[in-house]
Structure formats: structure tokens, C-alpha cells
Amino acid sequence: MRKLGQYGKEIAIGFVPVLLVFLIFAGVPALPLLMGVCLTAGLLLLARARGGLAVGAAAKKAPARSPQYLTFEDIGGQEQAKRELTEALEFLVQRDKLSKLGIRPLKGILLTGPPGTGKTLLAKAAAQHTNSVFAAASGSEFVEMYVGVGAGRIRDLFQQARRQAIKEKKDCAIIFIDEIDGIGGKRDGGQHREYDQTLNQLLTEMDGIQGDEHPRVLLIAATNRKELLDSALLRPGRFDRHIQVDLPDKTGREHILELHARNKPLAEDVSLAKIADETFGFSGAQLESVMNEAAIYAMREENETISAANLAQAIDKVMMGERMDRETTREERERVAIHELGHAIMAETVRPGSVAQVSLTPRGQALGYVRHHPSQDRYLYTKTFLEEQIMVALGGAVAEELNYGGRSTGSRGDFDQATNIVRSIIESGMSDLGIVHPEALTAEQWSKENARILNDLTERTRELLGRRLDTFQRLLAVLVQEETLSGERLREELNRTAA
């Protein structure tokens, strides 16, 4: 295949004139034929110049791109990942020390974790930390319909990284492949020859990395789905280090917010610590979006500084989407208000002081929402906590039943959340089924236990909400009229009824 590509031009130069002479002697008009050949040749050259034609082994070269100046100090919220990555990079920095101890250099580092947690930023910072050439590509760039093209691009990427390091007189080159599951997925023995050849070429290139070579090469890859990668790629000797890049905790979120607030004028009432509290579960990318959207809100209001209200609006937008100008009937508004009040009253019943605001403002796909006060970061959950969470999710549907005698399609998302929590209860051995492997349960057993738990919690929710129907009606009138209800007003009404 490669030889054919090398001599294809010579073959074409010799064959095309002979074919033209033959066709002219056969009586085919010469002028239209020549014009057609020239036009075809011109189109082929134009397509090749634009990189649109990559057939056979003529692989498109992946360019080596230098990262912007970025250090580990510029990345917030990933102290553990940064520490592990820095230790893994020592073989590029302290070659002599490692050679004395007989340590084999690492060939690959795999960064895994949810989207937006900073895996690409860590790879760029690694290049700065080791003073290395940085060549980046995405897994999708190597996927083609033509067999051999992806493998050729893998070879070009490694070769170009080495050439660039020599050109810049650097000792190291870091190759970064984002979304590596695009080419490194598990092989199933099918007929996907292009995927298999591309993965085989990547494995071959990693095996060819030697500790004494110059320049030294390190492959860093990132994926959101480590479980989909082929076992040959994950074994020691290829990806020697697997570093988990998780969502940031409260301290990490505050650090990330401070980094993105450096070039933004904040009002005196803004507390980044409070914003970090309210953004539990946000990734670094989402936190950056919060700061950016808050600045946009401030610009719309023609303010010179970003206020706490702007940041609250930005959090709502990132969580639920942009505010929508939907025209709803009074009946729909009243049903939405009843639904959201059901969530809010149940939340205040099981966790007093947790509701910050109830709103009828449509955002994204939601016609209304309940905004909760921040809670401490949790990583372990008890059965009681999970059951209370289910009751809060069911509160909207139960409130509709108590007032209208039936439910609406607005409860679909709540039911999805409730069934997911039920699954966690069963898989954690906290249900009546006891400790059991999920795969050992039949569909009928799953359905029966799921229905039992949800029916029991629905009855408890109905009982608790039924005791507050009078308060419910007073709060409903306020919410429908004003469109928003503060957590303080909600608690005042609930406490007055309890007294």
C-alpha cells in the first residue's frame, strides 16, 4: 500500500497520456476530453491542498500545538490530581536520580473523570512543568473510513512531536490525546479494521518509547469513560499511571472562583465562599461559566460591578438554563405553583431551613423550580437521608394529587430522580432484599421492590402534606401573585401553622 502511494504519481504520468492517445485514435473528440481531464485534475489538487482527500496511506499530519503559558498554580480544585501528576512527571525532570535507582520511565498517564474538571489544563501544565514540547490531538481526528489513515496519523503525531522537540532543542515531548476512547475502545473481534489498526499502531508507538531515547516522549490521555477502554491499553508498561480528576470540593470550588474572578470587578456584597457553598457538584467549567454569565448579567443591567444577585442569576442559569418567556395559562401557572410548593414544603419538613426560594420563572425545560440553601458536601448517604430525598422528589406529584385528584407530565423528571435513588438503596444493601448482587435480581424482583419503596414513601409524603393544606393555600395565593416566594416567608407560614 505504501509503495503504491509512493509510485502513484509516476504511474499516473505514464498511463494518462497513453490513454488519451488511444481514445483519440478510437474517435473520441479530443478537446472535450482534454478539458474534462484538466478539470478533474484541478479539483483533485484543490481537495488535496485543503486536506479533504486522505486515501490509502497518505495520512494527514496532525500539527503539534504549543500550549498557552499555564502552570499548576493556575488550576484550582485538583490538589490531589496535581500532586499525583507532578510525582509522575519526575522522571522527565530528574533523569539522573531515577537512572541510579533503576526506575523505568513512565510511558503513559491516563487522566479520567467527569467532563469539565480540567484534564486538558493539567496536560498543558505538565508540558510547562517539564519544559516539554506539547502536541495535542483528539481521538476523533484518527477515525476515518479508509483503512490505514488513522494509523498513519498516529505515526505522524509521534514523529512530529519528536522533530519539534529537536527543532526547539528540548529534551522532552508530551503528546496529549483527548477523548482517547474514540480510538482506544474495547475490541470485540468484529470487522472494524480501521479502528483496530489505529489502536494497534498506538500500542506499537507506546511500546517503542525507550527510557534512553532523545528526546524522551510521554503520552498523556484523557477520557470520561475509562471502563470503555481496551485492556491492552490500560496495562502497566503503557498507561502506567491512572489519575482520577474528580469534581472539586468546597475549597477547590472557592479557589476556582477566585481564579476566574481575577479580571472581574466584584461588588462588596459578593462572597465567593458563599458561592462555593451553593455550587456543590459543579465542575470547573461550570464555575467558569457562572462567573462569565454573572458578568453578562451585570453588563445587561449596565452595572460597573458584579453583584451577588447577578451571581445568583448565573447559578440558576447554569443549573437549569436561560430564563424563557413562555406564555402559560392561569391554570398551568397554578398547577406549577402547587407542584413546586409540594417540593418546598416537603424539603422544609424533612430538612428545616433548606429552601432558599420558590420561583415560577421558566428556565430551560422547567416551568418552575425550588432553589435550596447550600448544604455540606456529602459523599456518604444513609438510608434515612435517601428516603427523605425521595420524599422531596415525590412532593410535587403528591401535591397535585391532593389538589386536583391526579398528576401531570411535570412529574416525569421527579420520578426519574426517585427511581435512581431507589436503585442506590437496593444496590447498597439497604432494602428488604438485603445484600444482593444487582445482576442476581430478576426484572420482576427489581420492579416489585422499587414499587414497594416508592408506594411506602408516597403514603408518608401524602400524610405530611395533608396536614398543611391550609398553609398550602395561603402560600399558593402569594406565589401565584408574586411569582417568587422566599424561604423566609415559607418558614414563617409553616411555623405559624405549627404553633
- Residues with a catalytic annotation lie at 340
Query: Which among 271, 277, 295 has a CA at the least distance from the CA of 372?
Result: 277
3-state secondary structure labels for all residues of 278-328: HCCCCCHHHHHHHHHHHHHHHHHCCCCCECHHHHHHHHHHHHHCCECCCCC
User: From CA 364, how far away is CA 323, in angstroms rounded?
Assistant: 7
User: From CA 453, how far away is CA 364, in angstroms rounded?
Assistant: 31
Determine the angle formed by the axes of helices 383-404 and 330-350, rounding to 10 degrees: 150
Q: Which amino acid is at 6?
A: Q
Query: Which among 336, 297, 283 has a CA at the least distance from the CA of 480?
Result: 336
Sign of CA dihedral 228, 231, 236, 239: negative
User: From CA 3, how far away is CA 310, in angstroms rounded?
Assistant: 64
Strand, helix or coil for residue 28 = coil
Give the count of beta carbons closer than 10 Å to the beta carbon of residue 230.
18
User: From CA 270, how far away is CA 115, in angstroms rounded?
Assistant: 28
Supply the DSSP symbol for 268: T
CA-angle at 62, arms to 56 and 67, nearest 5°: 170
Cell of 32: 472535450
> Do strands 216-223 and 172-178 pair parallel, antiparallel, or not at all (unpaired)?
parallel
The DSSP annotation for 364-414 comes to TTBS-EEEEPP----S---HHHHHHHHHHHHHHHHHHHHHHSS--GGGHHH
User: From CA 189, how far away is CA 204, in angstroms rounded?
Assistant: 19
**30-to-11, 20, 22, 23, 35 alpha-carbon distances in Å:** 22, 8, 11, 8, 9
